[in-house]
Structure 1
Amino acid sequence: MSLPSAALASEITLQSTDGTLKFVGEFIDFQDDHYIIKTNLGNISIGSAGVTCAGDACPDLAAAEAQPAAQPAAPAEFVSGPVTLQSFDGALKFEGELIAITDGNYIVRTQLGDLQIQTNSVTCEGEPCPKVDVASLEPAQEEELKPRDVDDIRVTLTSFDGDLKFVGDLVDITNGKYVIRTNLGELRVSASTVSCEGPACPAVGGEILETAQADDSAPIEINYTISGSELIGENMMPLLMSGYAASKNAAVKMTDQPEQGGAVASLIGDNGNGDNLGSYLVASTSTEQAFQALLAGEAQIAMASRRIRPYEVQLLQNAGAGDIDGADQERVIALDNLVIVTHPDNAIAQISTEDLKGIYSGLITNWSQLGGSDAPINVLTMAPETASRSFFEERIFDGKGAGKNNRQTVVESDADMAAQVQADPNAIGYVGYAFQTGTKPVTLVNACGIPSVPDAFSAKTEEYLLSRRLYLYNRADNLDAEAAQFLEYAVSENADAMIAKSGFINLDVARRTQSETDARAVSLENTKAGTRAEQNAISEMLAEMAQHDRLSTTFRFRMGSSRMDEKARDELPRLVQYLKDLPEGTEVTLVGFTDSVGLFNKNQSLSISRASQVLNEINTAAEGSLNGLNFKVMGFGPLAPSTCNDTDDGRALNRRVEIWIRKGQASG
């Protein structure tokens, strides 16, 4: 029996009675004694037996009728594609892309990474499910763990938004993933997406001791000053300091020190019981003031929510600060999406940038003008001096401002914006990536009709229209060894978990399946070819997409130069490490693209040449460590643009090299 559903997107929390599993998501339906909820793992079906439900949308179980347990699905021969894996007791259900069956395990790709689930612990539904007796795929006997108290190896992995929780025995930490043994077999979860609790967990973040209000008469001796963007200084820097402290077996004591210009992060050795290892003043001001502080020599490190401008580079070079936009002084540490959000009940799923401009300029005032309900649009915006509003208006209004619109309501923070959108069915606003929970994120469609989804993968590829890079800069003449060590930590894989925990998007390499239903594939199908060469290239690209997954690492180049831009340069070591962990013989294809200026044949040749250039860069950085992989290069010229080709910035985004991996070849 199916119970009447509460409003779509109403949030519920399901908790197992033993407390080992917790799922938070949008309630979809209740069928066959199972809750169906939407999470970032996809739709998950969880049996009502053994779990409690909390939330206004929880159904009345007294109205449910008992249903017989579902029978295991008929096995099928392995092919890559979407599957549903369900535990035999029906209590847990996972949906994802089956990419391999190896060593008695299904490897399923999800937004939390590749999950490894034993074939003999679940049923499999879907075309890719094997048409063989799964008993023949039973895993070999695993090597026994060293004798330890079970409490020593029991860990709890929780997603940073708190929506997902896994409890099991920690088996290994390998290739940036926690491997835990649960009643579903071994699960592999990316360490950059979850926090780990338990004695066996590695130290990825030092303790942040209670924030204290300083005694104005006793200023703290400052060893280093980090100045700039409030977005980074208040939301990310304390956690980065925490992670850096952990790498030095220390804890962080945060002290508000307004007389000295900000908050002071003091590193206390011996996990908070030892000596002061150094104090960092974190002055949260603005990006513009960050570069002024560097210019005056008042800061060693600058935090910036945009790239340094040419005139700022010149001023700093003239002042003896060095090559400020060079590899040793400019670092991309994270990404952020400014997400357009509406109430979860709003029927509008996507908005064009032109319509968004109309909403914020006061020309579009009713949702019915966009195909929605007949209701006024309640427009929310940030205060004029905030970085988010400046970035929003720069991207949507080309830096010219939104004009006077007296119908806008100004809010003070992302949290306030999200709360007001959740409370108002007719509201629209914009928030940082970390604050979209509980609202409905909206897909943006640019002037060329290309949609962009505000998810983490699109931020990493820089194909979301309101994605931005976050930077750290330093002078060359006043940076000592200790501050340099902090910068090295901030751009390392060790900092990824802290960046994700702070709500930003780290530079960890992600992998996504490409299919014929993807927006890019659909757009490519509808592309009108002008020449036979274009038509052949379209057919070839669609065929190759069906056979390959795409990595988030995307190489772009500085304007008018063959040099990689700063993000590509910083991501190269991460890509090399990711490729090292792939099985020997994996096929890796570098796929080049160009802008639309010039003839198709010439652009296709240019895109192949650019892909070959990136392959040379990879091989140089790898120093022979990737000889076991099979590399190919391809190029499709101006096909499948990321954005419009009508501006210099747009053309620069379209000149890129992507990394594709043959389907069915799992990551390490």
Structure 2
Amino acid sequence: MIAVGWISRHARRLGRIGPCLALICLVPAAATAQHSPDIAAPVFPPPPGSARVGAGGLVLTGPVLGFDGTYLRLATPEGAVSLVYDADLCTGAACPDPKNFVPQLRLSGASRLGDLILPALIEGYARSLGHALSQEAVPGGRTAYLIEDEEGPVLALSLRRTSTEDGIADLLAEEADVALAARPMTAEEIALARDAGLGAMEAPRRARLIAFDALVPIAAPGQGLRDLTPEDLAEVLAGRITDWQDLGGAALPLTLHLGPEDDGQLQGALLALLGDGELAPDAVRHASAGAVAAAVARDAGGIGLVPFGATDPAEPLALHGGCGLQGHALPETVATADYPLTQPLALYLPARRFAPEAAAFLAWIDTPEAQMVLRRSGVAGTLPLRIPLSAQGGRLASAIAAAGPGADGVPLTELQRVMRVLGARLRLSPTFRFDSGDAQLDPLSESHLRQLAQAIRDGSYRGRRLLLAGFSDGLGDWVSNRSLSEDRARAVRDELLRLLGGGLPQGVTVQIAGLGEALPMGCSRSTLGRTASRRVELWVQEE
């Protein structure tokens, strides 16, 4: 019996696959004995036309969606169907030739990933194998890469540099195998993906976190302003602040410069800062981050937002707040996502099988070797950074200043307890975050946790004592917040143990602590500040 997945095509891509030629039918047992439903990866480019699979009895006919060397995937009026491929049972121009098959992987999405990061990873992967790499531009705005050893092609990849939105649309329409995203998928996109038979994209294994980036406000050199609050930045973006003197600068009309409307990083930052509010209608749009920075540098009244590491020749501005909010975008504040405009860079993968060679490339991205490639590309990877307590004086000073008697104050005795718990430890950059009042990890933090579990399995923490320290925002009383933060730390530990099969390897211990609102990362009066403060940090006993 063939399992059937249900697919509804993304509206903008309807008609690109073409009509099926017959209704779904039963394929002979010889062709389905090892069938695994909906797991074959599409091929780039998809073989044109349809294929007729089966011999004797009923057959299955429809356009070929993909072939991974073992499984053939067909489109039918009832959905996509995957089955073990037998060339002798397939007729039609679209039937693949297993003898000449080259595993392929199509990637499409955010230009921040596609312009530099993915090309660097592809080059690094080929180098790690000791294989040759060639590339060429192909129709459709793609770049084709071919990795070859002495016997011939090993893996063909294609990369389309576009936007997060279009990358997800390509995934929905069977025109990509992996979507490159500079922001989390929206609820609407998740629903479309589920309807398209791609699986639950909000599930941990569908989102593969590969790095963190950040957006940084910039101004013209010589403006004189060095920082501003997230609240002031939101007022600028909304068009309610229109002169530099309202930000503490000289009297000068303010001009807002931004990247293209479909920039995923910018979309994520605007959502964080404005919520459902409207962007200023007179914002000047540019084609790239480099163009934004150049325009701001030339405009004495200019202000803009660009990715971390792309601020030149403009002047980067720090973001500050009164509750310990981290000011500057630095490798450590971006890697921990403590900087308030940090954005995840992720791969979204459908719930289906990839050719082993393609799966090996995707797995390599999590390795330390690949993480070094990411750092050289100018983004903070997921390889843990070590951050001593002595380097966190700013947030400790803010916490002490805010402590004291009163209904909302954290007692000084609580801060003393924090110092006893953390004083002999180093913070590691992996940080896990939650929704308001919830102890459920978000999908990208789940991805972070899987990487931690793998590092523990690999022996990276053998003989070490790890601590999961939970924190909360400042809403509610400090006693309740301490309890909530401990629940969050326990939820992370429970999920970590589940990923490790129920227990820790010998020589590794993981403790938990609930530290409540004692070390806020942002002001609780703002959504951005509350989100930054709700977290579980990873600490390790100093050697």
**TM-score normalised by length of structure 2:** 0.70
Code of the aligned partner of 2:286 = V
Deviation at 1:506, TM superposition (A): 0.7
Amino acid aligned to 2:167? A
In structure 2, distance between residues paired with 1:332 and 1:568: 8
1:325 to 198, 202, 208: 202
Distance 2:468 2:515 in 1: 11
Assess, with a 3 A threshold, how the Cα gap between structure 1 residues 574 and 479 changes in structure 2: closer, same or farther. closer
Which residue of 1 is the match for residue 486 of structure 2? 608
CA contact (8 A) 1:589 1:633 kept: yes
Provide the secondary structure at the position in 2 that maps to 1:307.
coil
Determine the structure 2 residue equivalent to 1:235.
116
> Is residue 244–residue 251 contact of structure 2 (8 Å, CA) maintained in 1?
yes
2:431 matches 1:550: no
Cα separation, 2, equivalents of 1:324 and 1:504: 24
What SS does the corresponding residue of 2:380 show, helix, strand or coil?
coil
1:380 to 248, 251, 257: 257
Distance 1:525 1:560 in 2: 25
Q: What's the secondary structure of 1:564's corresponding residue?
A: coil
How far apart, in 1, do the equivalents of 2:396 and 2:189 lie? 41
TM alignment of 1:416-435, pairs within 5 A? 416-422=291-297, 427-435=302-310
In 2, the alpha carbon distance for the partners of 1:534 and 1:640 equals: 12
Equivalent-residue separation in structure 2 for 1:357 and 1:634 (angstroms) = 34
Return the alpha-carbon distance in structure 1 between the equivalents of residues 391 and 128 of structure 2.
45
1:594 equivalent in alignment to 2:472? yes
Q: Which residue of 1 aligns with 2:412?
A: 535
Question: What does 1:64-75 correspond to in 2, within 5 Å?
Answer: none
Q: Which runs of 5+ in 2 are unaligned?
A: 1-100
Matched, 1:658 2:537: yes
C-alpha deviation, 1:428, in angstroms? 2.7
- In structure 1, what is the equivalent of residue 389 of structure 2? 514
Q: Higher mean Cα deviation, 415-424 or 233-242?
A: 415-424
Mapping of 1:610-649 within 5 angstroms? Answer: 610-618=488-496, 627-628=506-507, 632-645=511-524
- Residue aligning to 1:339: 216
Bigger helix share: 2
| Residue 126 (structure 2) pairs with residue 248 (structure 1) | no
Alignment correspondent of 1:453: 328
Distance 1:385 1:590 in 2: 37
**C-alpha separation in 1, matches of 2:191 and 2:387:** 40
**Alignment correspondent of 1:34:** none
Amino acid of the structure 2 residue aligned with 1:292: A
Distance 1:322 1:578, change over 3 A: closer
TM-fit CA distance, 1:331 = 0.9
Q: Per the alignment, in what secondary structure is the counterpart of residue 537 of structure 2?
A: strand
- Post-superposition shift, 1:365? 4.4
Secondary structure of 1:465's aligned partner: coil
Residue segments in structure 1 that go unaligned for 5+ positions in a row: 1-219
* Residue identity opposite 1:475 in structure 2: P
Partners of 2:388 and 2:424 lie apart in 1 by 9
Q: Which letter does structure 2 place at the counterpart of 1:285?
A: T
User: Which fold has the larger relative contact order, with Cα–Cα distance below 8 Å and residues 6 or more apart in sequence?
Assistant: 2
Q: Aligned-pair distance for 1:372?
A: 3.1
Name the structure 1 match of 2:145.
265
CA distance in 2, matches of 1:351, 1:284: 33
Counterpart AA for 1:509: P
Match in the other structure for 2:376: 501
- Look up the match of 1:289: 166
Contact 1:516 1:546 in 2 (8 A): no
Q: Is the contact made by 1:394 and 1:401 (CA closer than 8 Å) also made in structure 2?
A: no
Q: 1:421 to 1:545 in 2, by over 3 A?
A: farther
Shift of 1:566: 2.6
Q: Does 1:353 align with 2:230?
A: yes
Distance (whole Å) between structure 2 residues aligned to residue 415 and residue 333 of structure 1? 23
| Conserved? CA contact 2:272–2:528, under 8 Å | no
CA gap 1:351/1:571 in 2 versus in 1, 3 angstroms: same
CA 1:562–1:376 in 2, change beyond 3 Å: closer, same or farther? closer
User: What are the within-5 Å matches in structure 2 for residues 404-415 of structure 1?
Assistant: 404-405=281-282, 409-415=284-290
- In structure 1, the partner of 2:400 is 525
Task: Please give the residue correspondences for 1:470-485 in structure 2 after superposition, counting only pairs within 5 Å.
Answer: 470-477=345-352, 479-485=354-360
Same amino acid, percent of matched pairs: 27
Deviation at 1:381, TM superposition (A): 2.4
How far apart, CA to CA, are the structure 2 residues paired with 1:568 and 1:389?
21
Residue 351 of structure 1 and its aligned partner are, at CA, apart by: 0.4
Q: How many residues align?
A: 438
User: How many Å apart are 1:469 and its aligned residue?
Assistant: 1.0
Q: Deviations over 1:590-647 (max 9, x none)?
A: 3111234444323323323432443454456567776445654322222323334457
1-structure distance, mates of 2:232, 2:253 = 15
Asked if the contact 2:208–2:349 (Cα under 8 Å) also holds between the matched residues in 1, the reply is no
The structure-2 alpha-carbon separation of the partners of 1:505 and 1:574, relative to structure 1 and needing over 3 Å to count, comes to: same
Q: Secondary structure at the match of 2:402?
A: coil
Change (3 A) 1:476 1:644: same
Spell out, residue by residue over 1:267-313, the C-alpha distance to the aligned partner (whole angstroms, 9 max, x if none): 2324xxx6222322212232222222222222221112222223333
- Is the alpha carbon distance of 1:437 and 1:567 closer, same or farther for their aligned partners in structure 2, counting shifts above 3 Å? same
The answer (yes or no) to whether the contact 1:555–1:658 under 8 Å persists in 2 is yes
1:511-541 Cα shifts (integer Å, max 9, x gaps) = 1122397221121111144369733212322
Measured in 2, the distance between the counterparts of 1:252 and 1:399 equals 46
Give the letter for the 2:145 counterpart: A
Match of 1:355, as an amino acid?
D
Quick check: 1:300–1:478 contact (8 Å CA) kept in 2?
Answer: no
What is the aligned partner in structure 2 of residue 398 from structure 1? 275
SS in 1 for 2:343: strand
Q: Is the 8 A contact 2:165 2:262 kept in 1?
A: no
Change in CA separation of 1:384 and 1:256 when aligned onto 2, cut-off 3 Å: same
Q: Secondary structure at the match of 1:316?
A: helix
Partner of 1:69: none
**Aligned residue identity for 1:606:** L
In structure 2, the CA distance between the partners of 1:475 and 1:613, relative to structure 1 (3 Å rule), is closer
Q: Show CA shifts across 1:315-334 (max 9, x none).
A: 32233222333233221111
